[in-house]
Structure 1
Amino acid sequence: MRVSFAITALVIALGSASCSQSIDKQSSNSAVETVAQWSQSSLNQFADTLSVTYRIVTNVPSEACASDAKADERCFIAEIDLTPADPLTDLVELTNKHWQIYFSQMRPVLDVLTDDFDIERIKGDLHRITPTDSFSGFEAGKTVTLRFRGELWQLSETDPMPNYYIVATDNTELTPAVISSTRLVTDPLTQLEQRPYVEAFTSASKQYQRTATDNLPWATAGVLFEQNAQLSMQKSHLDNSILPTPLKQVTHANQAKADLSLGLDTSKVDFSAVNTSAKQIQAALERLTVLGVSQSAEGIPLVLAALNEADMINGQYKLDVSSQRIMIQANDPSGFSYALASIQSVLGTDSLAIAAMTVEDKPRYDFRGMHIDVGRNFHSKASIFKLIDQMASFKLNKLHLHMADDEGWRLEIDGLPELTDIGSKRCHDLSEQHCLLPQLGSGPFADASVNGYYTKQDYIDILHYADDRQITVIPSMDMPGHSRAAMVAMQARYNRLMAIGEVENANRYVLDDPQDKTVYSSVQYYDDNTLNVCLESTYAFVDKVIDEIAKLHQQAGIPLQTYHIGADETAGAWLESPACQQFVAQSDQINSLAELGPYFIERVANMLADKGIQPAGWSDGMSHTRVENMPGNSQSNAWDVLAHDGYKRIHQQANNGWLTVLSNPEALYFDFPYEADPKEHGYYWAARALNTQKLFSFMTGNLPANAEQWRNIENNPFVADDRVQTNEQGQRVSGPLEKQRSVAGIQGQLWSETIRSPQQLEYMIFPRILMVAERGWHQPEWEVPYQYAGAVYDQNTTNFTDKMRQQQASQWQSIANHIGHKTLAKLDKFAINYRLPTVGAKVQAGQLHTNIAFPGLTVEYRQLEGDWLVYQQPIAVKGSVEVRAVSPNGQRRGRSLTVSH
């Protein structure tokens, strides 16, 4: 084994064989004098001309793991080809070994299987390649291959991170150089990230299967054709369709339509009569303007009136449309805005006339949210604004803004400048006194687009923008785990203040016990990312951050309602911390080191409650707390996998009386692939195919019942036993929901480890977010009623009846057509880079047949790499055939698939 795991260094350096600065070339075959030291130009030239190719060889454990591996061990083997190219290597034979190449590797390297190189893991996913004594140098055009064994598996062509870079070790003054062949490129037709350095998968059994029991089929054109077989073009109800589905809708077919081509007349709206203002519905009116419905005194009058009904809830409204006027009744700004959003939804793409109708509507859940991680990779204020606009279009009302994690701190905090001066950027600084170490393929430079932060004014702007669209912002700075950015920044603050003798101030926000010898590793392979929860300075820091965020809310005039602690994936720190051992010995609140994690969450939760702020956290951390020590209104985001009994924890937390928000990965993690295809973007630890239809099918009111329609990550059935379970002492360990208990809502999640561009951000969110809106707003008739006595569900039980399945299929038919015929065209007008579905296709009797997940979209095909043609009906084809979808505005294409004969 030639793999070392360094803890302190963290850069991707490739100081390479020396490059010629003066060359005496007598003839093309003459000897060439090599230069003893790198120059900046030679380093840059080498980086620009070195070809890198990454390939997955096998994920089969029997082929990939060492001979002495445990029976259940999972490994993969990968190779990296390094090929020097013209013009540099045509002139000089590179023999100098003063180079290092740094690269991000999602799964740690276990063994190097090539004699010429070592690979050292620095920290997190950052690895470093160095030559060994047996390395004889690079030669022009000659490939050297680095073969290695990694931990677990790599099942996607998007796993290999970009931006390898080279650092010269014989001239430390030189700037690192990014190896050009490992940069991402953007496909101009799809706007998707492309990895030219990654070799395409060719073998499902060796590369794409997870284990021997993996029965998930590769989503080829033929597989998709079978999946889409029940879908057909359905336009009969599209003129009146609304998404999310309203509670009640009656269309008056015998009445004249309302013609909105002249706009809406808002001049006579009496805002004094309703609990709202012109400003509070202006955003909804502006979205209509984008679709062609202006505000004009010549248009149809818009009338707003109060709605007085029993048991009113936020967002409830009544919409009455006629050719003479449009009346909206509601009792809060969100109700009026949601009614206007329904008008936005019902509009067609070729006419501004809508049917006369009456809609009575209200949301199923009060919490209908979207989470976006800007900590791992930063996303601009403009991107957040676009997301907020579309959330409002589909009646979502919570934005969970995750602004701090191991890889970045993204919000300016008054009085703690290091958090953003250092914690907001990653670059090649091994000392981490100026920036964090590179991670996630960020490369060596601080000006990379994945770096950045929101100023205080930016955050206030986001608050205002969201509030104008009836959306509450829930800020989150993950703690005590996932806190490496904060810890590095506060260590730099400590060093700065100690250097000028400000000892007391330096110690005010110390987050780590320097005497702590605990060895641990987080899920992301960090060994230094967890706040020490035994230090009072840690709580001083947390308190400072919360207070400063609350001040920004006060300045915005929008009180901080909920703060998300995070509290997830704490990696077993503190066990050998003298400060913690002393704390436990002296504490009258806790009795063991194992109680320190719950203690932190309980203490911070009550700190928030004392400030009048609702505490929130992820379900795993929340599950370890003592309920009696937690505020009664605590919120828990449940990210438990249902196929792994996740419903049990969700039921327990709902039974605690907490506001339990569904955030389940296999349905609601938008950083996962849409389809089971190695070219699809994203992580896949809980699901390898999460398309819009699957999220639509989510039975949120009966979580274990999903076992009757869903399968696990390997496409195998699972059993959900929701009956009371007890331990050996007879104590209840799990069981069904108590009567009158339910979940509080639903939230989509986008984690940003692999999301770098605004286009990729939107691609991963849209159109899946539409089904967050649907499931958060509307309770479907096909949902299996919950059985409070407890029940067992699997593929053989029949609670999900044939009638329910038919109802589900019928409604999906309608929604899929609504999306294909109406929604995507509107998203085009808002410049949203949504995902176009890959096309289902087969060749039968020599003819090409196609179908698509969203009927109404144009499909194109081509033969033998000829011209792309519009597919209209089955047509005779020969040879290789490709198919792809086209956006309604004709400006983008979906990823193409080759059709098997």
Structure 2
Amino acid sequence: MKHLLFTLLSVFSLVAAAQAQTGAKKVQPKQIRLTWEVVEEKYQGKNQTLSALTIKNTGTVPLTATGWSLYFHSTPSFKAKETPAPVKVEAINGDLLRMEPTAAFKAIPAGGTQRIEFVAAGQIPNDYRTPKGFYLVYDDTKTQGHPIAVEIKKPTHNSINWIKPEGIYEQNTTIKDLPAEKLTKVFPTPTEYQETGQDFTLTGAVPVVTDQAFQKEANLLAGHLATVFGKKPAVTTTGAGKSIRLQQKIGLGPEGYELAVSPQEILISATTPAGAFYGTQSLKTLLPPSALAKKQTSVAVAGVLVKDTPRFGHRAFMMDVVRNFQKKEQVLKVLDLMALYKLNVLHFHLNDDEGWRIEIPGLPELTQVGARRGHTLDEKEFLIPALASGPDAATSTGSGYYSKKDFIEILKYAMDRHIKVIPEIETPGHARAAVKSMDARYERLMKAGKKAEAEQYMLRDVNDKSQYRSVQYFNDNVMNVALPSTYAFLEKVTDELLAMYKEAGAPIETIHFGGDEVPNGVWEKSPVAQNLMASNPKVKTVDDLWYYFFGKVNDMLKARNLYLSGWEEIGLSKVRTNGRLSYVPNPDFVKENFHVDVWNNQGSNIDLAYRMANAGYKVVLTNVSHYYLDLAYQREYDEPGHNWGGYVDLDKTFYFNPFDYMKSMRVSEDNQPLSATVLSSYASKEQLKPEARANIVGLQAPLWSEAVRTPERLEYMLLPKLLGLAERAWAPDPAWVTNPESDQSKAAYAKDWSAFVNVLGKRELPRLSYYAGGFNYRIPTVGAKVENGKVIANVQLPGFTIRYTTNGSVPTIKSKVYTGPIGEKGKISLAVFDAAGRSSRVTIVENK
């Protein structure tokens, strides 16, 4: 017995020692350094990139040739170049990839490195397209992921035509620096505006006297004035003497107002509370932009006479909180921004493949599973990482949701500011988070022996063998529209949403049910879908399932006195001619009051919005070419944002012409001037019919959040571009849109463009440095070039200051102010500064 015990103890000791030794030999994740760099764009003359990943082992033991994997996010086309390849790259789902060593991989000794080259489809125009979110997983702890930092080396060559400082300089040459006193002091530009020269002196002692109908609007105004003066002015329904007065006046329209400022009073007249509210917002922009920088004792309010009403009734911003989550506080801040500039619709994108962001009572898995992302092998507790959200679900930028209480607070906050919140529940595609969440619910209830309850809200046919891949590379992200349980789920979600709106006392007229980017191949091998097609004479093909689905969703909403909103696809039919697929407006739904957000004005679809409006659909222009705020401002490596739909700078949102937007097309997706051939081709496209103008109900700017991981980045992408949308959606139709190619129109546009950027640079952006806690708006980079042996520079926003250095250091707020040509030789570093001291990226120009 003693011998046996001794033997067992010896074995246990050897195992423990072996385990300890194995642990000791494992390189710690923080000891692994990764560097990624572009080697060659357009590799082999194709639309692909050759890149290299260098793995450095800074530990004291080798990184073994087996027993680990690197997860990261990129295109599934990412493959090792070398043969035999030292690593194998496998697509997990979406943009999540796994890299594993092969038999050709050699262990990396302590202090050693290994460089691996890869080929991937597409080019790398900026940092967004680089691989991201690396984390390490060891085979013996496969459920744990360890983040690994990666250094991205910026390319030193300009092989994909990045914009140069000279190009920015040329873009800015038409801009004139206008005297501040000559600028319109209400923004967006009012219908009628006149300055009288008779200012009003406003102090914290000036009361707000309001008709009872505008009590809420008066209190919100007084709350803002408290941030100016440090004390909230009195709000009363009666009073004589100097005051701000809100009075009801019949006949000014649903959102119209009048604003009259004299030395005796500030008078806001409106028919409705919404009109009164917009009058107060105009008064806020009438205040000096520096009023919020510190507490004031008094401010001079310019004497004006304003009569105003909006151009469009639907002035929308779409906020995607799914791809990366934004907290409730940031949503409220965005609502404050929208209200200031008279935007009245928040299109709230609440679910997608990568997440579900709102609590639905009775369906806890939607937030327990669908609202979190992290490293997982089975997705039973949370979803896989996406978009570089990281392996830890607790700290992931992809995790988070709004509780019922949060959402009701958001609704009330928006309602007080006359903003409608349209919730978007993406269906039937872009629905992976919902599908996986209901899978988890199904498994939980099946284990409990509750089969009928488990199947109640199931969103996929468990026997479906269909194969597909979405645009975002998912192969399991579509609800099965042949399942009765899919409609039970949508009814449950709809009714819970309506209950929240009711509790908030907020209006709701529509729910947005998505409808975009359902990939080919879905439902083709679903037994449930086949049974439906066999039993329902109206559903003969897989294509017919689309119309079946939105017909049923429409019926559900009509039964609840709602109308259906969606992306353009909800109102389109598929037509196949000689094997070619095209989309035409679907006549079956025209009279159903469908509202469609039309984003696709690319290629042959450039006239799609007009085709749908002419057919009778209510259209919200959401053109990717001009209003996708997630697109990068410029074609420059350090400029964040997408580029798949081109580039959107401030000018694009400003010069958009809603009723003839094809004349707003000036550049290609590569930001190059369009050829005469392309421009002339637009003449053959369908134009908006005069009688269909009423079907263009408004404008919308979406901000998709794949690359938006922080509030600061959200605000950078949002501003100042959103102000161009605000101007076009509210202000009267400018004179230069009628015949934009004429010399007269070009001169009128240049004048209006200069006025717009001067207003932003000297009034609105300085205001936004402090408003609602301050916004991290983008400060434009310097335009500069060498001319006659000297460096000359300019800026897109007059009122901002250019500073420079000549010794190689980064310009600071204490650096020299640019006032004219710089004669010093060598590398001149320039940056733009706002009044609050924030700066742009540095521009370097060499003066030889």
* TM-score w.r.t. length of structure 1: 0.85
Q: Which residue of 2 aligns with 1:496?
A: 444
Picking from 704, 708, 712, the partner of 1:759 is 712
**Residue 226 (str. 1) matches residue 170 (str. 2):** yes
Q: Closer, same or farther in 2 for the Cα pair 1:317/1:288, shift >3 Å? A: same
Taking the TM superposition and a 5 Å limit, the aligned residue runs for 1:76-91 are 76-85=49-58, 88=59, 91=60
1:103 offset after TM fit, Å? 0.5
Secondary structure at the aligned position of 1:832 is classed as: coil
CA 723–838 in structure 1, closer or farther in 2 if over 3 Å, else same: closer
Structure 1 residues 366, 760: CA separation in 2 closer, same or farther (over 3 Å shift)? Answer: same
* Equivalence map 1:171-250=2 (5 Å): 171-172=141-142, 175-179=144-148, 181-182=149-150, 197-205=151-159, 209=160, 217-238=161-182, 240-250=184-194
Aligned residue for 1:590, secondary structure, equals: coil
1:589-636 Cα deviation digits (max 9, x unpaired): 222111112321222123112211121011134323733345532110
Q: 1:690 aligns with which of 626, 632, 648?
A: 648
SS at match of 1:277: helix
Quickly say closer, same or farther: Cα 1:292–1:852, change in 2 above 3 A.
farther
- Give the structure 1 partner of residue 473 of structure 2: 525
Match 2:634 to one of 675, 678, 683: 675
Residue 818 (1) aligns with residue 762 (2)? no
- Distance in 2 separating the partners of 1:466 and 1:451: 24
Give the distance between the partners of 1:826 and 1:553, measured in 2 at CA.
33
Tell whether 2:22 aligns with 1:37: yes
1:315 counterpart residue number:
255
Q: Residue in 2 aligned with 1:606? A: 555
Partner of 1:164: 134
- Report the CA distance shift for 1:96/1:645 in structure 2 as closer, same or farther (over 3 A): closer
Q: CA RMSD in A?
A: 2.4
Q: 1:808-850, CA deviations, whole angstroms, 9 ceiling, x for partnerless residues?
A: 1101111111111111111111211111111111233443322
Q: Does 1:145 align with 2:115?
A: yes
In 2, the alpha carbon distance for the partners of 1:161 and 1:439 equals: 12
Shift of 1:243: 1.5
Aligned equivalent of 1:50, options 25, 32, 43: 32
The 1:723–1:599 alpha-carbon spacing in structure 2 relative to 1, beyond 3 Å, is farther
Mapped contact 1:403–1:411 kept (Cα < 8 A): yes
2 CA distance for matches of 1:655 and 1:816? 35
CA change 1:525–1:328 in 2 (3 A) is: same
- Whole-Å Cα distance in 1 between the matches of residues 840 and 539 of structure 2? 56
Q: Is 2:618 the counterpart of 1:618?
A: no
Residues 18-65 of structure 1: CA deviation (Å, up to 9, x unaligned) = xxx999xxxxxxxxx9976347xx76x6321221111222331534x5
Please name the residue that 2:207 is paired with: 265
Secondary structure of the corresponding residue to residue 129 of structure 2 = coil
- Per the TM alignment, residue 647 of structure 1 is displaced from its structure 2 partner at its CA by 4.1
Q: Secondary structure at the match of 2:97?
A: strand
Judging changes above 3 Å, is the alpha-carbon distance between structure 1 residues 823 and 893 closer, same or farther for their aligned structure 2 residues? same
Q: 1:673 to 1:107 in 2, by over 3 A?
A: farther
In structure 1, what is the Cα distance between the partners aligned to 2:221 and 2:704?
Answer: 28
Q: Whole-Å Cα distance in 2 between the matches of residues 575 and 430 of structure 1?
A: 28
Residue 425 (structure 2) pairs with residue 452 (structure 1):
no
Unpaired runs of 5+ in structure 2? 1-14, 235-239, 292-298, 574-584
Aligned to 1:803: 744
Match of 2:689 in 1: 737
State the partner residue of 2:459. Answer: 511
Pick one of 349, 373, 387 that aligns with 1:426.
373
Partners of 1:261 and 1:899 in 2: CA distance:
48
Q: Are the aligned partners of 2:779 and 2:833 in contact in 1 as well (CA < 8 Å)?
A: yes
2:153 partner amino acid:
E
Could you tell me which residue of structure 2 aligns to residue 12 of structure 1? none
Secondary structure of 2:457 counterpart: coil
Which residue in 2 is equivalent to 1:828? 769
Aligned equivalent of 1:633, options 593, 611, 618: 593
- For the residue of structure 2 that corresponds to 1:817, the secondary structure is helix
Task: Determine if contact 2:36/2:54 at 8 Å carries over to the other structure.
Answer: yes
**1:642-689 deviation digits (Å, cap 9, x = unpaired):** x524342111221233221111111111111011101111111111x3
Offset at 1:695?
1.1
Alpha carbons of structure 1 residues 900 and 747: separation in structure 2 relative to 1, 3 Å: farther
**Which piece of structure 1 moves more, 49-58 or 762-771?**
49-58
Structure 1 match to 2:414: 466
Q: CA deviation at 1:736?
A: 3.9
Same amino acid, percent of matched pairs: 31
Distance in 1 between residues matched to 2:600 and 2:230, nearest whole Å? 43
Amino acid at match of 1:813: S
Q: Look up the match of 1:186.
A: none
3-state SS, counterpart of residue 739 of structure 1: helix
Q: Which moved more, 1:558-567 or 1:475-484?
A: 558-567
Q: Does 1:441 align with 2:382?
A: no
**Letter in structure 1 aligned against 2:154:** A
Q: Against the structure 1 CA distance between its residues 653 and 493, is the aligned structure 2 distance closer, same or farther, given a 3 Å change threshold?
A: same
Q: Deviations over 1:341-368 (max 9, x none)?
A: 1122122235721221110000000000
- Give 2:724's aligned residue: 771
Instruction: Sort the Cα spacing of 1:252 and 1:172 in 2 relative to 1 into closer, same or farther, 3 A.
Output: closer
Q: What does residue 865 of structure 1 align with? A: 808
Deviation at 1:247, TM superposition (A): 0.5
Q: Is the 8 A contact 1:161 1:440 kept in 2?
A: no
Relative to 1, partners in 2 of residues 1:259 and 1:720: Cα closer, same or farther, differing over 3 Å? farther
Alpha-carbon offset, residue 339 of structure 1: 1.2
1:329-340 mapped onto 2 (5 Å cutoff): 329-340=269-280
Q: 1:850 maps to what in 2?
A: 793
Structure 2: distance between partners of 1:695 and 1:286: 31
Residue equivalent to 2:63: 94
For the 8 Å contact 2:464–2:527, the answer to whether it is kept is: yes
Describe the shift of the 1:693–1:125 C-alpha distance in structure 2 as closer, same or farther (beyond 3 A). same
Question: How big is each residue's C-alpha offset from its partner over 1:60-105, in whole Å with a ceiling of 9 and x where there is no partner?
Answer: 1534x5xxxxxxxx322222111112xx2xx323335111110011
Give the structure 2 partner of residue 713 of structure 1: 670
Structure 1 residues 308, 800: CA separation in 2 closer, same or farther (over 3 Å shift)?
Answer: farther
Question: CA separation in 1, counterparts of 2:469 and 2:427?
Answer: 16
Higher helix share: 2
Gaps of 5+ in 1: 1-20, 24-32, 66-73, 183-196, 210-216, 726-733, 786-797
